[in-house]
Structures are given as C-alpha cells and as structure tokens.
Structure 1
Amino acid sequence: MKRRESAVRYFRLFVCCVFLLFITRLNAQEQRVYIHQAKQIDSFMDTLRNKMPMERLYLHLDKFNYLASDTIWFKAYLFEDAYLMPSTKSGIIYMELVNTENQVMKRMKFPVRYGLCWGNISLGESDLPSGTYLLRGYTNWMLNFGQDAVFSTSIYIADLNSKTIVSRESARIGSKSIKPVTRITDKVAALEVVSLPGKLQLEVAVLPLDDTLPATDHYLVALSRDVVCYAVPIDLKGGKIVKFIDKQLFPTGMTRFVVLNRSLQVVKERMVYIDQQDQLKISFSTAHAVHKAMDSITLQIQVADKNNVPLQGSFSLAVTDDGQTGIDKRSHGLVTYILRVSDSLLYSRNPVHDWKELLNKELKYKAEPEFIISGRANSAFKGLSEAKVSLFLQKPLMFMDTIAGPDGRFVFKNIPMSDTAVYKIQARNKKGKNFFVNLEVDEWVAPVFELMPKLEQMDSLLKDANFVQKVQKALSFKQKFGKATGHMLDEVNIEAKKIVKGSYNLNGPGGADQTLTERDMLKEGKKSLYSLLMERVPGLGTGSYLFPPSRQRKFGLKIKGQLVKIIIDGIDVDQSYEYWQSMSSDDDTLEGMQERFLHLKTNLEHFTAEDVKGIEVMYNSLYNIKYNNKFLSQAETRFSRGGGLTGVGGVSGIDYAYIEVTTRSGKGPFMKPTPGTYLYKPLPFSLPLKFQSSGYGATVHWEPNIVTNEKGEALVSFRAGTQPATYSIVMEGSDMNGQLGSVTKPAFITITR
C-alpha cells in the first residue's frame, strides 16, 4: 500500500513539474489558466474515485466442465480498483447460473470478508439439461458501472442421461463483441500508442487534424486504474506531437491514454497493456512425481515476490484429472483478468465522452458492506417518528428491536447469518399500538442483464474431439462408480406423505393428490398465490364451462377438464360470488365470460406465498368426494332445465377439483394483513461446505483457503483417486496488498495402479 501511495505522489510531482516547464513560456494570464487546469485534472480523478470507487471481482473455479450432479467449487477475490487492496465497499457477493435463453437457473448469495469468499454451488441432476451456461458474479455496488463490470465465465454441464455433447446454435451467452470507441469527433486529432517488448519507453503520437483549433487547448493524460500517472498540455498547432514516456511510471495493467479538451471532454482514447513482470512467483513440489492410486500426496508450496522475497497471502488450488477435464485455454486467470481483461471490457464497450458528467451520474445501487434490514414505519403516508420496531428470527432464535428515526426509517445491523432466514418485523407507535401502522421494508431486487451474443470459443470447444472424449469419460465414470457409492438410491422413490399443519383437509392429513408444504412456500418469496398455483400445480389452466343456471358458457380454472373450486382455510371462495344473479342476453361477452374467473383471481392475488402455510390439490374421486358433498350447491349437481347435462359437477357431469389453501392467519379468504407486521424473506446466505473427493471425479482436490506463512510456505495434502491418471494443478491468489499470482502446471502428477 505504501509503495502504491508513494508512486501516486511521484506521479503528481511529475505532472506538476511538466506543467511548470511548459507554462514558463506563457504569459501570466496563460500561466494561471494552465495551473488551474493541472489541478483540475489531478483532483478530478481523486474526487471521482471517492464518489465511485470501482471493484474488481474474480472467481477461481475448480474446473470448467461439470456433470449435472456435480458441485461447482469456487473462491472469490474482490479488490478495490486503484491499488488492488481488499474491497471494503461490499460484504456480499451474488452469483447466478444462467442458461442460453438468459434464464437464471440458480441465484445464490455469499458473505465476503477482507475481500475473500469461497463456497460451492450444487447442480441438481434434473434441473439442468446438457449445454453451455454462464456463471456470473457481482456485488450490488458493481451494478452502477454496467454489465461489463460484472465477472462472467462460461461453463459446460453434461446431463447424466445425455449420450452426446450438445452444442446449441441458439447459445447467445458469453462476451459481447467489442464496439469501436467513438468520441465527440474524429476530426480533432489522431492518437497512436506504441509499446514494444524490451523497450523502456512508450512512444505516444498525437496528430492534429484541425488547424483551426487554439494552440493550447488540449491535454494528453494517461491513467492506470483511474489514477492519473501522466498529464501534459499539448499544442495542436505545432503539427505532429511525439512523446517518449518511461514505462516505469505505470503499474502493470491497462493504461489509458486520453486526449482531453479544456472542458474535460474526451477527443481520443487508446489503451495499452504494460507488464512490469512483477507478478507473484508461485511454485510447488511433491516428494515423488509418480504416485499410486489412493496414495496420500503432499504439495509443498512456496510464494515470493519478483525479488524472491517470501510473501504471506491467500490462495486457492485445484487438482483435476486430465482424462476428465482439461486446462481451460479460454480462461484468463486471476492476473490476466484483473489487470488486463476487466479494463478492456469495461472501457472499450462503455466509452466516456465527458469526464464531468461522471460526477453527476446517479448511483442507483447501494453498497452492501454487511447484511442489514431497513425500512420505514409510517402512518397515513407519513413517517412514524420514534416507532418501536422489532425483528424476530426462529432459526437461529433471535430477537432485536430498535427505535425509528423522525422520518420513520429504521435499520437492523449485526444480524446473525442464516441459510434459511425468514424474519418477522413488527412496528408499534409510541403508545405500543399497531392501529394504522404500516411497514415498508427495503427489498433487494435482482438485476436484469441483457442477453449476450453467442460465445464462439465455447462452441469450438464443444466440437473438439479431445474435449468430447473427456466429458464422455467423466460420464462413464459417474455411471460406473457413482451407483456403487450410493447414487443407486436415486432410482428408489420412497416418500412419506406431506402434511400441512392446521389444514382443514376433509380427507385428513396427507389426503391429497398433490401437497405443497411450508418449506415449498419459503422458496417462493412474495409471489402471488395465483401465480404460485399456475406455476406449481401440474395441469392447472383456464377454460370455459357451463355454470348454472346460465345457459351461457363462462370462464374459470380447470385441472384435467375438471372445474376448480378454491377453498381457503375451509371456506369456499365461491360463497361470496353471486350464483343466482340475473343473466343478460350479452352474458357471452368477454366481461360476462370472465366474471367468475376474475372473482377467483382477485381473491388469490390478495395472498402471497408468505401468507400461506400449505396447499393441497384434490382431483381424484378418492379425495374429492367429501368436498363434492360439502361444497357443491343443488344447482351445481342437478340437471339443466332442458334435461341435458350441465357439463359440470357431481352426478350431472364432469367432476370438480379442489385446491385447499391453508393460510398463516387461518382467517380464510377474508384475511386482512395484520397492521404493523411484515414477513421478510431475503435471499438466504449460502455457507461453504468442505470438499470431499469421490475418488473418481474430475476434481481430485479443491483447497480454497491456503494461507502462506512469513516464509511464504504452505502445505496441502490430498489423496489420489482410484484410477490411473495424470493430474494438473492450478493455483491463484494475492498478498491482498496489490500483488497477484497465478500458475498452471499441466500433467504435474502421474497416478499408476
């Protein structure tokens, strides 16, 4: 950190010296103008970094191709941009697994401490068909900088039932094509930056294209990670300008050379990568190069800086079977991604035209240094000053309370971490009453990302015979050895009847064709009961029917041709519907047909999944006969006046199906929300599991938390698999003080029988 701060002070001193040399040739008035401009450019980036400090996120994965029953093991490194120190801005990372149609198949949340986080994502066998997926990682704060600030990488998942490797032509995930960097005009100047290997200086050339411009109206500025490293005024009247700039002024990474006008508008911009060869040196060794199956193997790890000085740091390591997976040649690695790729993606696709506009940019997404619950208690649309707000959590058992501010705002901090958190929040006024008290809780809203174009590199990989052979070998190992290690149980479908506590089910506990319990409700958040039923009840849809005594058809819910009745806490929702209302001749209009359907839908949309303890569906005669006897009216079971069947209900025709809903309040369809109460179900934290080798899988060992000692040393031990193979090792990490390292050793260990 001190080295980086010293470098910044040197950059500023250098900038000031260059400006002083230049302005001595100007008159007093011109000197005052350029001193002001020098300070403006230098201080602008400081102000911008303070307001909008950028974060860099990288995910180290154990491999890049998985089976549908596998687990993705990862470690996250989160840095602040300027000096690559641990980010203090965010304490939460979100990760998403996205299919080729841009649908989020999994979304998870992980805690971050000191810029580090590790965990796992389990892949269900039935949830994910074979194909390419995008794994995305971000913090809420990163969303302020656009989609290109978010980390993403593509992976391949093979379904256990698949016999071929799928390369979908419709795949459109991956990296967007780099757009040309457009500026306010291409007629002012041309900019060229040349960096030759072995040369100690950069050659930067500016060619004026407009001879009507003022002589001293522009600046050449160079930035690395948004720190001004070089800045001089340039005279566009004097013809082509060539500057030779020492590379030692810039840290390793992408340097942006920018031509600015007096208003700090970007005229031209070019980027160049500078490598100071200062990455961490990571090495490891074993006692033997060749081991036998099931042997215990110990890796001796050594980490040092470019001067061979031992360093302490945090690292992650993956050992993989070369026969089932390979080294991902598409992967950039920690060093390349953080220092090169992330800047290239962000700045080439999102060019800035006016630096001053950045200071006025609205920051929509707040930083999340920790998990908090916040909101507002109000009454009659006004903040409820000094309201007492309480927070309850059952697992782990917790109670907290606080007093709202003058505007009714409240915040709960230092909340215990839970992977199944459902919080009950209650608010009372100064007198301890909840009359006319309303609670508003700040809910996190998942971002919506654009659908990305097809990733050509992944498509070419899926057509590679060597890669296909590796995936097929992994599948065959899973089918051969997985059953012997317990996966045979997957074929046995033994399941106890689900029971909804407090249900009014006429058939008794478990007497239903389908049951959704409180555990199922917890997964659905604030989804409306109507949407929940339409998504989770197979065969549920809409259709027309004859409803007595009308001779016209109406519109409602049906399951397998059976008309659906909704029962909430033992009360028929239809009891508030006017069966015997007079029917006009225009009853077959759209409004008339949908009359009862809208009645049901309105009642169902009054509830959310949070209000419901369970749902039971009955459509077979074994379960619906008792409901028919209790809830069908005489009109619903008799013949029509013409002697024909009505087409619905009981003895006269098609049977009814019933959906019994049990609410938390137990007050039926007339339930009103309890004043001053809010049930809050955030996305739960996912806590890491410890890696355990199967003995035959593609990932032989995963170690996410390697910490080297003061001598730069660490030991990692693991057991070899059961089959002959060669193992590759990838190790990455940082001293969390600005220095990064990454090393890949293909076929480093050989396993024999």
Structure 2
Amino acid sequence: MAYQWVNNDFPKRLIERLFAFHQTYPKEKVYLHTDRPYYAAGETIWLKGYLFDGITHRSDSVSRTLYVDLVHLETQKVIIHKILRAENGYAPGDLQLPDSLLAGAYLLRSYTGWMRNFSEEDFFNKPVTILRTDEGELSAGLTSAAVETIRPDLQFFPEGGQLIQGLDNRIGFKAIGPNGKGLDVEGFVLNPAGDTLTGFASMHLGMGSFNLTPEAGKKYTAYLKFPDGRKFDYPIPPAQAEGFSMLVDNLSNRENVRVFIRNNKAAGAQGLFTLVAQTRGQVVHIAQGDVTKKSFIAPIPRNKVSEGITQLTLFDETNRPVCERVIFIDQNERLTVSIKPTKTVYAPREKMQFDIAVTNEEGTPVRANLSLAAIDTKQVLEKEPYATTINSYLTLTSDLRGAIEQPGYYIDPKNTDRHGKLDLLMLTQGWRRFTWQDVLQDSYAPTKYPIEQGLSITGQVARLNQKTPGQVKLTFMFSRPDSTRDFMIGESDEFGKFRLDNLNFADSTNVLIQSTTQKGNRNLTIKLDDLLNQPVRLIKIPYNPVLFQRDELAEYLKRTREYLEIERQIRRNREVLLKAFTIKKKREEPRDSRKIYGSADATIKLDLMNSAGALTVLDVLRGRVAGVTVTGNSLDPVVQIRGAANFQGVVEPLFLLDGVPVDKSTITSIAVTDVESIDVLKGASAAIFGSRSAGGAIAIFTKRGAPDYDFSKDPTPGTLITKLQGYSKLRKFYVPKYGEDNPENRRPDFRPTLFWSPMITTDSEGKASVSFFASDARTRIRVQAEGATSDGLPGVGLANVEVK
C-alpha cells in the first residue's frame, strides 16, 4: 500500500477553484409531485414543485419563480406553459388539460430561470400519458415480430473511462431493448483468433460487467446470443497503450470505500497522481500517490461522505484528469413518513381520516412540508414498479445523466441486493455535472439569466431605422383584471436594452410601455424578449412507463367520460337565456378606480383649447385654479397651493399619476396630449394621503390609465401595449362533503383522484392529519405523501385502505 496525504499546491488549487466555480454557478434542483401518472383530456393535473439548493439540498428560498411545461413528445412543442409562485421552496399549482388535447406521450418539465443558464439535462422531467375518452384503445407498443428484427443497443463502460493494455480492466455494460428499457441478455467475448475469453450475463435491467486484459494490437468483439438462435456482434472499445486504470470497491468494506489504482507508465515517469472525491461540488477527500509505484490502494472513509452520488476523479502526474467513476453512498439520510388510517376498511362515501407522523433517520420527530394524493387503484394502475419519488430523485437521479429505469429500487431497504445493483448503475450511467477544464479556469463567463425573485420583463428599444437610440427613459403601467394599476419608471442602457425584475402579477395582465429619448423623441420601437417560449431540446427523455394492455383502462375511461359529461352539463345548465325586459334607472357617473378620495376641489378637463402652447402638464394649471400658483420655467416649475410653506421654504403638493405617487420630474415628462384631466385637492381634501400631502395634492389622470381605455386604438410611436403571462392563480382541489345536503352530492362519484393536498405541514412533534370522503367505488385507495424538511431530508409515506 503506497499512499500519502496532500503535500503540494495542485490539490489546494483544486479545492479553491471548485469552491469558486460553485460560488459563481450555484446549482438548483426542482422536483414535481403529481397526483397520478396519466390523465384524460379535460382533466386537471394537480402538482407541487419543490425547490432545493443543488449542493446542500436545503429548501431553496432564493428563486421564487418556477416554470412548468407540458411538452408533446412527438412534436416536441410546449402545449401548456405555467408560471408558479414559489414561497420558501414550495410551489403548488395545477395544469388544466384542454378537451381538444391529443392523446399520446407527454413530458412534464420544470425549471427555474437560473437553471436556464445550464444544460437542460438539469431540468426536472417526468413522463405523462394523456388519453381521450372518445377514442379507441391506446397502442401497447411494438409487436413481438417487430421486436425480433430490431438489434438491441449494447453499450460498454470501462471502469474509470478507458481500457489500458496489459492491465486487468472491469467493463460495465448495458443492453437496451426496442422499448427503451433494460434488456436481460447473455453473451461472450472473442479475441481476433476466435477464442472465447469470457462469458457475461446481465444482472439487473440489462446491466452487468466482466473483466478483460487487452493485449497490444488486438481487437475484441462481444456477442449477444438469444434462445431463438439470434446473434448480434458488438466491438469492444480499443485499449490505450499506456495510462491508469481505476477499480472501485464500494461493497465489501463497511468503513471505507477502497479505490485500486494501477498504471503501466514507462520507467522514467516521475511525479504524483491525485485522487479527488467530491459530492455535489463539496470536496470530501483528497489523496496522492507516487506514479513510480504501479499499484495503489486509497481508502475513503464513509463517515466523511454525505448521502448521494460522489464523483471520484484521478489526475495523473501532469495534473490531467485521466479516470473518473461515480459511486453512491447510502447513509440512510431520509425521513420516515408514517400514514395510518383510523380504520382499515371504509364504506362508500364514508369519511376517511389519516394520521401522519414524520421522523428523521434517528427516529426524532421533525417538521416537514408534504404533499399528499389519494387515488382509486382500480382506475389508476401502478404500471411502473419503483417509480421516481422525491427520495430517489433528490439523491440519485438528479445527479445522473440519461433516463433511469426503476430508480426507487435502489433505495428501497426491502431490496437486500440493491447495493450491488446500484453499483452497476453507477458503473454504467454517465455523470457530467461539469468538466474539470471548466472548473480550473481562472475566471468564469457571466450568466445570461439571473436568479428570479419575481417575474421579469426584458427587451430593447430602437429607432425606427433600427439604430441604437442611446439611453432611453421608460414608463411601465400594469393594468390588472381587477382594474388596479401599477406604475414604474426606469431607463435603458446605452444600447437601448432594458430589464425590469422582481415583478409580481397574475395571469393576463396588460402592460403599457412608453419610451422617450433624453431629448424627448418618441419615434421609437419597443420589442420584448420572449422569455417563455424557449426552444425545446429534450436531452434527457425519461422512460415512458405507461404501456396499457387491452381492457386495462376500461373502468377509468368509462368513469372519466361520465364525470366530464356531467361537468359539461352543469356548465350548460348555468347558461340560462333570460326573457328580455327593460330596467329604468337614473344614470350614475362611473367611479374611477384610480381615485381613493371623493370629489376634488378643482378639476380641469384637458382639450385642444386649454392645453394649446403648454410644454408640460403643470403649465395648464398656470392661472386657471384659484389658490394654485405655478412659477419658474416649464421643465422645473415651483408649484404651491394656498401659499403652503414652512421654515425651509415652499411646501409643494403631492403629485399623483393615475393614483400612484410620483415625483415632479415624472409629471413634467408626460406629454400634454396624453393627459385626460387634472384634479387639485386643497387642505382637508388631501388629508387622506397623510403627511405627504401637507402642501395639498395634484392628481394627473392619463387617457391610457382609464379603466375603460381601449389600448388597441392607440398606435402611439414609442409605445408598446401587450398582455403578459403572470403567476398562475392557485386553485383548490374540490372535495365533496357527504355529511351535508348539497345538490352536487346527488350525482355519482367515481373520481380517480379522491384527494389532493399540496401543503401539509407537520408540527413540532412531527404530526399532522388529513380527512376526506370515500367515493362510490368499492375499491382500494392508495394514499401517498412526499415531502422534505427545510434542511433537505426527503421522505415518502404510503398507506392502503379498502372501500367495501
């Protein structure tokens, strides 16, 4: 055993640059919990997003905007795009599926704005099947005859990344069938002379391994053989003449992970190699060995490594990365979520109650935030064993590249053989969170997208000839469906680009953007960046687990068709045609929602006569309102109502623009032709605005700010009017209450999802409870809760009850 601790500058540089890299590019993780794996067009997908820090797995409370897309896999188009508001790392929401949606395979993907700076492989992806109740059976895939004619995909993964001549190498392999899932195979390896060197067989989901010592100048071929006589050949990757090999033992020793390092370097090679072990960007172990020694064993203490995937990288004597391997360390850092029903058997429409208890790995009760779904198992089939949950995603699949089949198998304590099979997964599954070449740079490129604590608007202002206008003044007015207004001002950069961050508005919000150059020129065009409709690049497509056999969905499609038809009929019944009649009433002046006061002391309605010759709005007031004096030049006048003054001089009035307090310079920058009216409030009339209106108040109302203003009829230069998508409004899952006399309770109830609660918080004793009513179905109800603590411990709980 030749082994020594760090004693030169290279490992120190590794630690320094790795820390700087993750400080510059902090990672985020997103997980979506949905109520079930498939739906019919017209139904609702109920979901909850969880945001985590990519290194510590603590709840991510920095990003407050979560994007959710429903992507049609065949066309790779985003069918539904939602923006969810995240609070303390949690973002509940839903997707209402249109009745017109095509049946087929879809993908739910979710990400934050910051995650768009990196590979789309980091996005959360979940397969979803959409059905139609008015169509025939869903295809179950390829026929047996077609499968037999398709060549299986067999991939080889030399441990450490490369084969070295003259050294015993372990080679992992993975066989994938035509359906994209692991295929159980067996075969053998031949040398150029046709001699059999070794046989091999898959151990789990098409994965296995065998050993090979390649010789110089020889090529090797692997053959798959099938019981029906079919045989396929595959070349083994060529071996390098010189280098390092790495073999990792993560199974036989409870205290340490042992890394066996060998090399066949020439006798003159001098220097130290470096082994680095890091977990999600945090270095947990570094060791060095002398390259003159041909064999080394480097132990890594397990108690130094956190739960999850650890990357082992070997740098040669020239500090060049030459071998890499990932391993999984199981520290049992997960929650135990217990769900206990008060009864094991319930009657139809009986109230069901479940008590929830959450403890950490030490058995101590903890606070956790959970989402819970209760489904009818006769309608919602469990087609994929060991499907992705928050447990398997957070510590396993989120740090791997490619799709993982049955991820839950590897972390289920009931599977006593899981560690060996998990090690095969680590041997054969690619891992590329970053490349060391990127990490070891002295500086890093700036990112394109910021961390979003709200919504953003970005765009560019240009002259009509598309030339750069220089720095431009901008005014933003947001008009919500409830007639409320928000008013903001800002400036672009010298190239006309602008960005407005940390906004908070809901769906279908109108925005008016006005732009003027520093000299008051409005002959400009405004173009917003399309931050929502990003191109779809499906780099990591997970397995689509839902393959249905004949008649499996008959019950679900029948009940869903009945339920959707009842919903349509209820909507039709609400559309009642009333008999025409006439109502006579004295006309009332509509109230302007921009005014929080009653009547003004004086009002000026602007027209061509009284605004002629006025450079600014305040010029219109000169000599027209008793008690109001406007002195000085037009661009910086002094306004005084009833001689308001104090020891510091004139006390000017409070200025309001469409009900929003602004400074005087904003008022003077508004074009007179854009103003509809001016209200003057003196003394007590302005008291509603508090101490800010000690000098009275002047309220300016623009034509565009009026609640009933039709923006489409105002193609003003330098102005953009558009509708923006904001945060989705939260909808509450409907739960019938059968103990009450409600007309809705008289209709049949065969809902596939009986209950969905996205925000369940356990108390200091780790306890919570939920209750809901059973449906009319005599079936088995599956209740599953998923969630995490604020410090990143995930957990999943499951319970089943019968309805008879």
Corresponding residue for 1:428? 516
Aligned length: 537
**1:491 Cα offset (Å):** 8.9
Q: What is the CA distance between 1:453 and its match in structure 2?
A: 8.9
| Alignment pair present for 1:142 and 2:143 | no
Alpha-carbon deviation of 1:299?
1.2
Partners of 1:193 and 1:204 within 8 A in 2 = yes
- Whether 1:258 and 2:344 are equivalent positions in the alignment is no
2:373 to 318, 337, 342: 318
Are the equivalent residues in 1 in contact too, given 2:127–2:543 (CA < 8 A)?
no
Following superposition, the deviation at residue 100 of structure 1 comes to 3.0
**How far is 1:162 from its partner?**
2.1
Other-structure match for 1:335: 391
Conserved 8 A contact 2:369-2:760: yes
Contact 1:298–1:717 at 8 Å: present in 2 too?
yes
Q: Which amino acid in the other structure matches residue 161 of structure 1?
A: D
String of CA shifts for 1:355-387, please: whole Å, max 9, x gaps. 446754563444323212244556584454462
- Summarize the Cα distance change of 1:447–1:494 in structure 2 as closer, same or farther, 3 Å threshold: same
- Distance change (3 Å), C-alpha of 1:686 and 1:242: same
Q: Is the 8 A contact 1:730 1:742 kept in 2?
A: yes
Distance of aligned partners of 1:147 and 1:435 in 2 relative to their CA distance in 1, 3 Å threshold: closer
Q: Using the alignment, how far apart are the partners of 1:208 and 1:261 within structure 2?
A: 10
Cα distance between partner residues in 2 of 1:177 and 1:72? 37
Contact 1:179–1:349, Cα closer than 8 Å, also in 2:
no
Whether the 8 Å contact between 2:120 and 2:539 is mirrored in structure 1 is no
* Alpha-carbon distance in 2 for matches of 1:736, 1:477: 39
1:689 to 721, 731, 746: 731
3-state SS, counterpart of residue 107 of structure 1: strand
Q: 1:106 aligns with which of 73, 77, 80?
A: 80
The answer to whether the aligner puts 1:226 opposite 2:281 as a matched pair is yes
Q: 2:435 aligns to what? A: 352
The verdict on how the C-alpha distance between 1:404 and 1:709 changes in structure 2, with shifts beyond 3 A counting, is: same
**Counterpart secondary structure, 1:42:** helix
Take 1:152 and 1:77, find their aligned partners in 2: how far apart are those partners? Answer: 13
Paired residue type of 2:296: I
Change (3 A) 1:481 1:153: closer
> Contact 2:458/2:529 (CA < 8 Å) preserved in 1?
yes
Do the aligned partners of 1:94 and 1:110 also contact (CA within 8 Å) in 2?
Answer: yes
**1:21-36 alignment runs, 5 A limit:** 21=5, 23=7, 34=8, 36=9
Which of 451, 454, 472 is equivalent to 2:554?
A: 472
Tell me which of 719, 729, 752 is aligned to 2:773: 719
Name the CA distance, whole Å, in 2 between partners of 1:248 and 1:169: 48
Alignment pair present for 1:418 and 2:506: yes
Matches within 5 A, 1:53-64: 53-64=26-37
Measure, in 2, the Cα distance between the counterparts of 1:739 and 1:689. Answer: 28
Q: CA deviation at 1:447?
A: 2.8
Displacement after TM superposition at 1:439 (Å) = 3.2
Calculate the aligned-residue CA RMSD, in Å.
3.3
1:716: how far off?
1.0
The answer to whether the 8 Å contact 2:28/2:115 transfers is: yes
Shift of 1:309: 1.3
- Counterpart of 1:56 in structure 2: which amino acid? K
Show the counterpart of 1:160. Answer: 133
368-377 or 282-291, which deviates more? 368-377
Q: What aligned pairs does 1:115-194 form with structure 2 within 5 A after superposition? A: 115-129=89-103, 131-167=104-140, 187-194=242-249
Contact 2:139/2:548, CA 8 A, preserved across alignment: no
Contact preservation (8 Å) 1:178, 1:349: no
The alignment partner of 2:513 has SS state of strand
Q: What SS is found at the alignment partner of 2:399?
A: helix
Instruction: Tell whether the 8 Å contact from 1:389 to 1:410 is kept in structure 2 after alignment.
Output: no
Whole-angstrom CA distance in 1 between matches of 2:371 and 2:712: 49
For residues 85 and 45 of structure 1, the distance between their equivalents in structure 2, rounded to whole angstroms, comes to: 20
Aligned to 2:55: 82
Structure 1 window deviating more from structure 2 (362-371 vs 698-707): it is 362-371
Cα displacement string for residues 700-734 of structure 1 (whole angstroms, at most 9, x for unaligned residues): 11110001111111111111111111111211111
2:415 counterpart residue number: none
Would the alpha carbon gap of residues 665 and 290 (structure 1) be closer, same or farther in structure 2, given more than 3 Å must change?
closer
Q: Describe the shift of the 1:400–1:445 C-alpha distance in structure 2 as closer, same or farther (beyond 3 A).
A: same
Separation in 1, partners of 2:784, 2:268: 54
1:482-504 Cα deviation digits (max 9, x unpaired):
44x333468999999xxxxxxxx
Q: 1:195, 1:430 → 2: CA distance?
A: 67
**Residue deviations 1:657-702, cap 9 Å, x none?**
xxxxxx96559xxxxx632212343333222211114731211111
What is aligned with 1:372?
456
Instruction: Please give the secondary structure, in 2, of the residue aligned with 1:306.
Output: coil
Give structure 2 stretches of 5+ with no counterpart: 144-152, 164-239, 403-428, 578-709, 737-748
Instruction: Kindly indicate which of the two structures has a greater share of residues assigned to strand.
Output: 2
State yes or no: 1:702 paired with 2:756.
yes
Contact kept? 1:178, 1:345, Cα under 8 Å:
no
Residue 71 of structure 1 aligns with which residue? 44
Cα distance in 1 between the residues matched to 2:358 and 2:282: 28
1:523-544 alpha-carbon deviations (Å, 9 max, x no partner): xxxxxxxxxxxxxxxxxxxxxx
Q: Between the two proteins, what is the percent identity of the paired residues? A: 21
Tell me which residue corresponds to 1:94: 67
Give secondary structure in 1 for the equivalent of 2:391. helix
Single out whichever of 50-59 and 410-419 deviates more from structure 2: 410-419
The CA distance in 2 between the partners of 1:294 and 1:168, in whole Å, is 38
1:404 aligns with 2:497: no
Query: Contact 2:259/2:299 (CA < 8 Å) preserved in 1?
Result: yes
Q: Which amino acid aligns with 1:104?
A: V
Q: Which sections of structure 1, spanning at least 5 residues, go unmatched?
A: 1-17, 24-33, 171-175, 497-662, 668-672
TM-score where L is the length of structure 1 = 0.65
CA distance in 2, matches of 1:330, 1:104: 28
Distance 1:225 1:377, change over 3 A: same
**In structure 2, what is the Cα distance between the partners aligned to 1:198 and 1:495?**
75
* 2:324 alignment partner, SS class: strand
Match runs of 1:201-350 below 5 Å: 201-211=256-266, 214-261=269-316, 265-327=320-382, 328-329=384-385, 331-345=387-401, 348=430, 350=432
Task: Select between 433-442 and 249-258 the one with higher mean Cα deviation.
Answer: 433-442
Indicate conservation of the 8 Å contact 2:504/2:727, yes or no: no
Which stretch of structure 1 is more off in the superposition, 435-444 or 688-697? 435-444
CA contact (8 A) 2:273 2:315 kept: yes
Matching of residue 390 in structure 1 with residue 463 in structure 2: no
2:533 and 2:267 map into 1 onto residues whose CA distance is 51
Closer/same/farther in 2, CA of residues 490 and 395 from structure 1, 3 Å limit: closer
2:537 to 446, 450, 461: 450
The residue aligned with 2:547 is 462
Q: TM-score, normalised by structure 2?
A: 0.61
Q: CA deviation at 1:411?
A: 4.3
CA distance in 1 between counterparts of 2:43 and 2:544 reads: 23
Q: Shift in Å at residue 735 of structure 1?
A: 0.7
CA gap of 1:114–1:749, structure 2 versus 1, over 3 A, is same
Q: CA deviation at 1:266?
A: 2.3
